[in-house]
Structure 1
Amino acid sequence: PADTPEDKSETVGLALPQVEVKISDVVTGDSVPLGEQGEICARGYLVMTEYFRNPEASAATVDKDGWLHTGDLGTMDQRGYVRVTGRLKDMIIRGGENIYPREVESVIFTHPKILDVAVVGVPDEVWGERVVAVIRWKDESDQPTAAELVEFCTERLARHKAPKEWFSAEAFPLTGSGKIQKYRIASLVGEGAYGVVS
């Protein structure tokens, strides 16, 4: 009850009593410095021991030190408040660089002509993955060009994070609870189901 409205709306709060939370490097598993993004991990009495009759999934989720790897990306501030910034499985690896779709999407959302966006990684023979954006427009008759969108992004993001391919969609595939199914969007891009923004 004593938390500020900003903390209540922008963070998931503090760890519960007798529970440890850390933000770990997605490669090494070591704790990252405060404010840096990594995987949210938890350890304590409420963490499961294992998946029922599934030792492979158990080993992939709970490490030897008892840390449960949530698959969520986040940051922790100096007060211990945690912000969720994305999903590890959505992370794009391009030429050895980790690109977080939510970071790219938050920039694209600020474009005045864009209603909604989903950023996904699609396979690339040279770089491993390519960064692709699928857009829903506020006004179908008033769309910027792909070159304008790339320029908009590169003014606000590192060049390697900016999508080089842009597609338009009338709607995104959703789960029953209304979450965007990014794996389906990546498949639909590969199938040529979306219109190309030129």
Structure 2
Amino acid sequence: VMVSGGSPVPPKLHERVEAAFGCPLTSLFGQTELSPSLTASSPDDSAADRTETSGRPLPQVEVRIIDPQTGDVAPIGHDGEVQARGYQLMLGYVGQDDATARTILADGWLRTGDIGHLDSRGYLRITGRLSDMIIRGGENLYPAEIEAALTRHPAVAEAAVFGLPDDHWGEIAAAAIRLHPDTAQIDAADLKAHCRKLLSPQKTPSNWFVVEAMPLTPSGKVQKYTLKDGALSGRLRRID
């Protein structure tokens, strides 16, 4: 069995890895504050559950989804902040009482800062980071869902979606993509048409950029603030 973690694995890459090694690829979701795992998929899960979800909560661990605007528990299938409670929860950040109070609520629930939803079986799907959420005309857009759709395009090797300011909508979705090496050329119309087959209109990015490589943190996560700065300053190459 193989295990992945840190960020979602695109479905096409998931299939390639399983075909290359001849065994199931499962996923873990968590963070250091949870020592460090919260949910996991099983080798016995279906290919769809291993590919599209982060599995179910580990034994003796509670998970809930909280609407970030109302603070109420979200219904099954609705996106919100993933919160967790269990034996593996950290005691706190050393010497940072204020940060601990912002992260661990009085009743013991930890705010992960991740956005996702639970289905009726208890499988968790992560759709983005609360800090990455794009608010377009009052509607919450979650980059992970849009990125997953983009990587299904045969020319797109990697995608990162982020928000840009807009006078009318307040904020709009923009996408930076890394193309497969054998891709000669691509235009925005092609990418938009692909997204419209999989996403509703408001989730389709309005601005498109291409990069040779994604800017990464030391742990391998995409630095979306760097992409946003590059788009606003004109350093990123725009696709028209």
TM over 0.5: yes
Alignment length (residue pairs): 197
Structure 1 letter corresponding to 2:145: E
1:5 offset after TM fit, Å?
Answer: 5.7
Unpaired runs of 5+ in structure 1? none
Alignment partner for residue 185 of structure 2, among 142, 160, 163?
Answer: 142
Q: Give the CA deviation at 1:93.
A: 1.0
Q: Which residue is equivalent to 1:4?
A: 45
**Which of 91, 99, 109 is residue 67 of structure 1 equivalent to?**
109
Deviation of residue 131 (structure 1)?
A: 0.8
Cα drift, residue 117 of structure 1: 1.4
Query: Deviation string for 1:55-95 (max 9, x for gaps)?
Result: 43233212233211101122222232323232221111111
Checking the alignment, whether the CA contact within 8 Å between 2:210 and 2:236 is kept in structure 1 is: yes
Q: 1:10 to 1:146 in 2, by over 3 A?
A: closer
1:141 corresponds to which letter in structure 2?
A: A
Q: Which residue number in structure 1 is paired with residue 121 of structure 2?
A: 79
CA distance in 2, matches of 1:184, 1:19: 35
* Superposed displacement of residue 8, structure 1: 5.2
Q: Report the CA distance shift for 1:108/1:16 in structure 2 as closer, same or farther (over 3 A).
A: closer
What is the deviation of 1:112? 1.9
Q: Whole-Å Cα distance in 2 between the matches of residues 2 and 164 of structure 1?
A: 39
Q: What secondary structure, in the 3-state scheme, does the structure 1 residue paired with 2:198 have? A: coil
Match of 2:172 in 1: 130
Alignment root-mean-square deviation, CA? 2.3
Greater shift in the superposed pair: 6-15 or 56-65: 6-15
Query: Residue in 1 aligned with 2:86?
Result: 44
Check 1:129–1:56 CA distance in 2 against 1; reply closer, same or farther (3 A cut): farther
State whether residues 126 and 144 of structure 2, in contact with CA within 8 Å, keep that contact through their aligned partners in structure 1: no
| Partner Cα distance (2:146, 2:55) in 1 | 24
Q: Is the 8 A contact 2:127 2:143 kept in 1?
A: no
2:45 partner amino acid:
T
Residue 115 of structure 1 is matched in structure 2 by: 157
| Alpha-carbon distance in 2 for matches of 1:136, 1:8 | 25
Rounded Cα–Cα distance in structure 1 between residues aligned with 2:192 and 2:140:
19
Q: 1:142 is aligned with what amino acid?
A: Q
Q: Which amino acid aligns with 1:124?
A: D
Q: CA contact under 8 A between 2:77 and 2:118: conserved in structure 1?
A: yes
Equivalent positions of 1:80-95 (< 5 A) are 80-95=122-137
Unaligned runs of 5+ in 2: 1-41
Higher relative contact order (CA 8 A, sep 6+): 1
Write the distance in 2 (CA, Å) between the matches of 1:162 and 1:177: 29
